[in-house]
A = this chain, B = another copy of it.
Amino acid sequence: MIEIEHGHGGRKSLDLIQQLILPALGASGAPTLDSARLSGLGDDDLVFSTDSFTISPLFFPGGDIGKLSVCGTVNDLAVAGGRPEYLSLALILEEGFPLEDLRRIMESVGATARDAGVKVVCGDTKVVERGKADGVYTNVTGVGAALPRHPFGPAAIRPGDKILISGTIGDHGAAILAVRNELPMASQIPSDCAPLWPMTRAIFEAGGEHVHAMRDPTRGGLAATLNEFALDASLEFVIREEDVPVRAEVAEMLEVLGMDPMALANEGKLIAFVAPDGADAAMEAMRQSPIGAQAAVIGEVGGAREDGRVLLETAFGTRRVLEMPVGEGLPRIC
């Protein structure tokens, strides 16, 4: 039966998709169910991505479910190499949900869409009885024009590529954790929830064909994203732990809780795999962005390895395997 861990974005989520959902869809399904690049609907390819949002609480430091919903889908399109253009917005509302909260959330959708330069063009509203939802769940699906005309995606990653992160990691997960547990530092740890577009455009403009792949490390954090990419690319990645930026407040809180920022969700960060010749320019483009001041090169791509592997190099020079997170995720983080 479905367990909470099936929703964490780690091993169990992948297994559910690969072992049950994709085989059941058969020939009607795509090889993966990530954001898709679509051909045949005009001259240029499109990008297409969907996300449902069940975050709890609905309002949190740095955002709310409305802002998160727009960012989540805009960011999927952006790191898939798209120029986000149009969004759909579907609501599942629980009977008794306050209209004033709905209004705040919709205003937040509107404001974030404006920031990201996208339009909400179609929608749907469903209502379920009290106790059959938790206030409001959303779905935002988006389409955009595909920008890169060079090979782009995990399969384009090459040995020697630099691995870049656009800023501090774990902020979104830490923010939700702090609010849920009513920790005193909650107000000092805002979620990083933000649109990654137009930063991704600047990275493409600066790095050109050297930009081989991008991803936003959401559920399962950097650990899940790196492991997925390493597996897809059949390559080994080496990450220098001390170069991975973490906010002091986040590091402090997680140390007390015994948690790892590498496995915590981000909602306004991206990792990029860039060939050495383009890495400086891509890094500079990130740093020029208002949300990329703390961008850093955190590692390199090593050699071929059938089943992929992510190695974490500590400050003392020792190396350990960074595993795909299994059951340690937070439920309803996005």
Contacts and interface: CB of A to CB of B under 8 A. Distances in A.
Interface of A: 1-7, 13, 16-17, 20-21, 24-30, 33-36, 38, 40-44, 46, 48-54, 85-86, 88-99, 102-103, 106-107, 109-111, 113-114, 118-129, 131-134, 137, 139, 141, 143-145, 331-332, 334
Q: State how many copies of this chain the complex holds.
A: 2
Contact of A92 (B89, B97, B137): B137
Contacts of A30: 119-122
Given A42-B43, A85-B40, A20 B143 contact: no
14 contacts: A3-B95, A17-B125, A20-B99, A24-B109, A25-B120, A28-B119, A29-B110, A40-B85, A41-B144, A46-B143, A48-B121, A50-B90, A50-B123, A92-B92
Nearest to A25: B110
B132 A85 contact: no
Report whether over half of chain A's contact residues are helix, strand or loop; otherwise say mixed: mixed
Given A7-B93, A133-B132, A122 B42 contact: no
Given A24-B107, A52-B139, 7 more contacts: A26-B107, A29-B120, A43-B43, A48-B88, A50-B139, A54-B126, A128-B332
Contacts of A13: 125
